[in-house]
Every structure is written in C-alpha cells, then in structure tokens.
Chain A
C-alpha cells in the first residue's frame, strides 16, 4: 500500500528566514506529485506539479520554489519567508494525469511571525 509522508509536521519561522518542506511517497513508482496551499479556514490552491523526476511546473507565483530530486520526493522551499506564507501545505499524488484521483499527505502547518 502506498504511504505519503510530509515533514516537518509543523514549523514556526521568522519573516525573512528560509524554509524547506518535504514530501515522500512510498509504494507507487513515478507518481504525479503536487503541492497545495491552504490558508487557515480557506480553500486549497495548487502551487506546483511534477510528472517526473527533475521536472516541476509552477502554477502560481508565491515566492516559493519546488524541486523533485528523486522519483518519490518533492521539496517546497523559499529563501525568504513572508507573513503571507503562513498556512497549511499539502502534498498530493496521483497515478497519472487525466482527471484521476488525488490523495493528500498529512500536511505541514507553517506559521510565519
């Protein structure tokens, strides 16, 4: 069975500091991977997607970047956090593109002070 793990579970960071969030999926080879962001009490917004190692596409510009260094790993990062980066970051996976099910990881709660 596939498992998706995100780290850290939660972070409290200062404005202007760097950030790195990770996502690992086990049990599926070559999944499509996605990063979503959710403001507290708000809806989910897709940030990035990746269909293969080394290839990441940006969907919205939020002064964040993403990378896929391994088939099962997806990293979200920034060199300088903004207050507006606070929220819930969710990694998701699907088998292939084309309107198929997406499953979310447990998420990382980020608070920027």
Chain B
C-alpha cells in the first residue's frame, strides 16, 4: 500500500519567517494530497489540499507544491505567526474500490517563536 514520509518531525522558526514541510509518497496512482493542522487535544483540520492535475496552490499564507515526477509535495507557510504552532500532517489518497483512504505522514510539530 501507499507510504508517506514526512520531514522534519520537529520545526522551530522565528515569527515572521517561513516554514517548510516536505512529504514524499510511493504510489504513483495517488492523486489527492491534503494537509491537516492539529492542535493539542483537538481533531485534525483540513487547511489546504492539492490534486494531481495541479503543481501549485495557495490559500493566503499557505502554499502547496506538488512534483508528481519526484513523488514529492510540500507545504510552505509564509510569515508565520504564533497561532501557526501545531502538529501538521500531510496525506496522500488514491481511491481504490470505494475507499478514499488517506495515508498520513508521521507529522511535524511546528513551533513559532515570538
């Protein structure tokens, strides 16, 4: 099955700087790549996603890049704020037999230092 690697596991950045999280996947049939933000004790919340027919997507300070040839995708948070501190998960999905299964990376703990 699909496997997703996510790095780094811990990321500390200064407020106002950029943060980047990188993921790689194995299954070339995967066609949907969401990113989730999870705060302590809370459920993961979908913050941005990209489909395989796109290479770049931006929502405000969030930028997602997808390189299908290299099977890599990444999240970039520009102008980070303390409120961006959380756990971030990347995931990959390629529906098979009716299952929209999300395979998650191991997560990145982002700390934004004021």
Contact = CB atoms under 8 A, between A and B. Distances in A.
A46 B105 contact: no
A43 B104 contact: yes
Q: Which of B36, B44, B89, B105 has the most CB of A within 10 A?
A: B44
Interface stretch (A69-77, A78-86, A94-102): A94-102
Interface residues on B, range: 20 to 34
Contacts of A43: 89, 104-107
B95 A97 contact: yes
A57 B100 contact: no
A7 interface: no
Contact of B102 (A44, A57, A109): A44
Contacts of B102: 44, 46, 102
Interface of B: 31-32, 34, 36, 41-46, 49, 51, 89, 93-95, 97-107
Interface of A: 32, 34, 42-46, 49, 51, 57, 59, 90, 94, 96-107, 109
8 contacts: A32-B100, A43-B106, A43-B107, A97-B95, A99-B51, A102-B46, A104-B44, A105-B43
